[in-house]
Amino acid sequence: MICVPRTLLRPFAANSYLVLPEPTLLASRFFRRLFLPYLVLICAATGAVGAFSALRLRWAFLDRTRQTLGEESMLVAELLTPDLAAGRFDLVDAKVHELGKGLGCRITVIEEDGKVVSDNEGEPGQMENHRLRPEVVEAAAKGQGDSVRHSTTVGSDLLYFARRARTPDGRMHYVRLAVHLSELDRELRLLYGTLAGVALSAMGIAAAICYWFAGRQAAPVRDLAAFADALSHGQLNRRLLPGGEGELATLTTALNTMADSLSTLVSQLARERGELLAIVGSMSEGVIATDLRQRIILVNEKASELLDFPNEGAQGKALWELVRNEPILRAAGEVLAGGERRFFQVSLVAGRYLEVAACPYPATGKIEGLVLVAHDTTRSVRYQELRKEFVANVSHELRTPLTVIKGFTETLRDGAMADPVAGPKFLSTIARHVDQLTNLVNDLLELSRLESSPEMPRRVSVDVGSLTRRVTDLLVPAAQKKNQSLTLDINGPLPRVSANPDYLERAVSNLVDNAIKYTPEQGRVNVSVWSENGHVAVEVADNGIGIPMADLERIFERFYRVDRSRSRDMGGTGLGLSIVKHIAQVHGGSIDVSSTPGAGSRFRLKIPVPVDE
């Protein structure tokens, strides 16, 4: 049963008040939250304006310069064409230097094949072929061309403008003018500096505005938080003074209205809270709540399942109409009459054992109803029965060998020890039963360790094929004593499994040993290993005596034997298959059996393969 403490029935907790920050600290928090959006907005706006202005300035400068270079290139081409036609390259070079100085630009004269004839800022003989320069390629196709790029000759960015020209004899050459972009860079740096100053000024103004606004908002917000904290602790008579306007004034009015509503509802909520907590807190069990007349006011599905009545339409009916169990009805009446809790056991209600608790609610004061909580203890009762059966089986298994040992010991003590024939025979019998007792105790300890360990200890990567081969090799002599054929069939390659090799070898050994024991002479025992559906399977099949259908379901229980006398004569403890089952379970695997009486049995052990294999 789940009981609800009285402290949970109180409408408010009185020991966990909200710690409110100081006004200056609250103002600083407001400032940080308000200033960050302003800061992002200012930076974004300044960056956008700066980027746009820089682009516009660059485009305007390049367009103006490009137009100027076009006009100047036409003039330079007309001045240089006569000298180029006459082959007077000395004069061409002199004019290029003179014109370059006068125009304030770089002038380059290029022949049709790309050879540089003259350049006022470089040595023509050391310059590369210019036939594939972008502006020259465009000029060859359209008559004129331009480009902006870095010059390896002068080591800076330039705007190039090339014009195609022809001499009177039809020879073609190119006149190229170039202007350094350092002036543009200076203008852009000036623009960026101006924008940075504007941005810093805007940030300072925004910071001042935000700080002023945060200071105004901090005090009323702190008052609202303190008021809300007081309401949460039950101080419903406290009110806020309305003042100001805007959202905070609206919130103040709303909180005052909420306090008025809470004060009228708190008594009703306190009574209903105890009822709801008592019911909801017990929902994991079967729960029935009734009034003083034992009329059902709430019931969950688990209660209808445990007490065997239909849940639909149960609300409003009398308890005795649905629950037909005399101890429960009698306890309900006694609790409502005396006001004391009752705990009792109910046997075999719809095939279950129940533990029932009946208590009044509220826990103190005037009783208003009854809460019944039913807990299913069937599994616990079954465990107790299994424990008793286990103790009885262990006692029986120990009594027989101990009786034999005691009888033969007394016989030896009475004089049989001197008998050269009977003495050794009696000692051999005593030793055999001592071995049986030792095996029984060892198997019990092994089974106890398996049941008490949720996980298999010392797991390693195991090759099931090699492990099974090792087991069969060890048991070949036992099969040969009965003239049996013991064969092994490994269908590989097999994935490795994560297992305890000692326990896994014990499981396979038990299966093979059982097959040899319960297979007649001249019989066959076949062991197969293969991989299927994420598991490695080990199957032990024989053509022995088989297992009756009625015994298959219980074959893995402790001490269960199909033929008790024969099993005991063979030295079995009745725990071998139970150990195999537990070994399979702790490895996350399974063991199943199929058998036909007189035709043999087939045991199949499956161990899962790790996912990464």
Q: Over the stretch 43-90, which tens digit does the pLDDT of each residue have?
A: 777 777 777 777 776 777 778 878 888 888 888 888 888 888 777 888
Please report, as a single letter, which amino acid is at residue 551.
D
**Residue 588, pLDDT score:** 85
Architecture of domain 381-447: Orthogonal Bundle (1.10)
Q: Which CATH class for the 455-608 domain?
A: alpha beta
CATH 1.10.287.130 in the chain, residue ranges? 381-447
**Residue 16, pLDDT score:** 43
Which tokens in the block code for residue 344? 């009792």
List the one residue out of 535, 536, 539, 522 whose CA is nearest residue 488. Answer: 539
List the one residue out of 567, 476, 482 whose CA is nearest residue 519. Answer: 482
List the one residue out of 431, 369, 407, 27 whose CA is nearest residue 220. Answer: 27
As a whole number, mean pLDDT of residues 304-328 equals 85
Given its phi and psi angles, is residue 458 left (phi above 0), alpha (psi -120 to 50 degrees) or beta? Answer: left
Please report, as a single letter, which amino acid is at residue 325.
N
| Rounded-to-integer distance, Cα 456 and Cα 442, Å | 18
CATH homologous superfamily, domain 281-376: PAS domain (3.30.450.20)
Burial track 44-60 (b if 16+ CB lie within 10 A, e otherwise)? eebeeebeeebeeebee
CATH 3.30.450.20 in the chain, residue ranges? 54-186, 281-376
Length of the chain: 613
For residue 400, pLDDT beyond 70: no
> Would you say the C-alpha torsion 304, 305, 307, 309 has a positive or negative sign?
positive
List the one residue out of 417, 437, 418 whose CA is nearest residue 427. Answer: 417
Which pLDDT band holds residue 451 (cuts at 50, 70, 90)? low
| Rounded-to-integer distance, Cα 19 and Cα 439, Å | 69
For residue 21, pLDDT beyond 60: no
Which pLDDT band holds residue 3 (cuts at 50, 70, 90)? very low
% of the chain surpassing 70 pLDDT:
75
pLDDT tens figures, 183-229: 667 777 777 777 778 777 877 787 777 777 666 666 666 667 777 77
CB 537 within 8 A of CB 529: yes
CB 377 within 8 A of CB 399: no
Among 10-24, 122-136, 524-538, which stretch is predicted with the lowest mean pLDDT? 10-24
**Residue 65, pLDDT score:** 79
As a whole number, mean pLDDT of residues 170-178 equals 86
CB 179 within 8 A of CB 158: yes
**Cβ atoms within 10 Å, residue 569:** 9
Which pLDDT band holds residue 363 (cuts at 50, 70, 90)? low
As a whole number, mean pLDDT of residues 18-40 equals 61
Q: Which residue has the tokens 């003989």?
A: 125
Which tokens in the block code for residue 546? 């088989």
Helices (H), 112-233: 134-142, 182-232
CATH homologous superfamily, domain 54-186: PAS domain (3.30.450.20)
Among 237-251, 357-371, 491-505, which stretch is predicted with the lowest mean pLDDT? 237-251
Between these two residues, 271 and 574, which has the higher pLDDT value?
271
| Rounded-to-integer distance, Cα 295 and Cα 291, Å | 5
The separation between the first and the last C-alpha atoms of the chain, rounded to the nearest angstrom, is 47
Question: Is the pTM higher than 0.95?
Answer: no
Report the DSSP pairing between strands 286-291 and 600-608: unpaired
Highest mean pLDDT among 274-283, 312-321, 407-416: 312-321
Report the DSSP pairing between strands 485-490 and 524-532: parallel
As a whole number, mean pLDDT of residues 293-318 equals 84
**Which neighbouring-strand residues pair with 524?**
485
3-state class of 181 per DSSP? coil
Among 129-133, 209-213, 487-491, 588-592, which stretch is predicted with the lowest mean pLDDT? 209-213
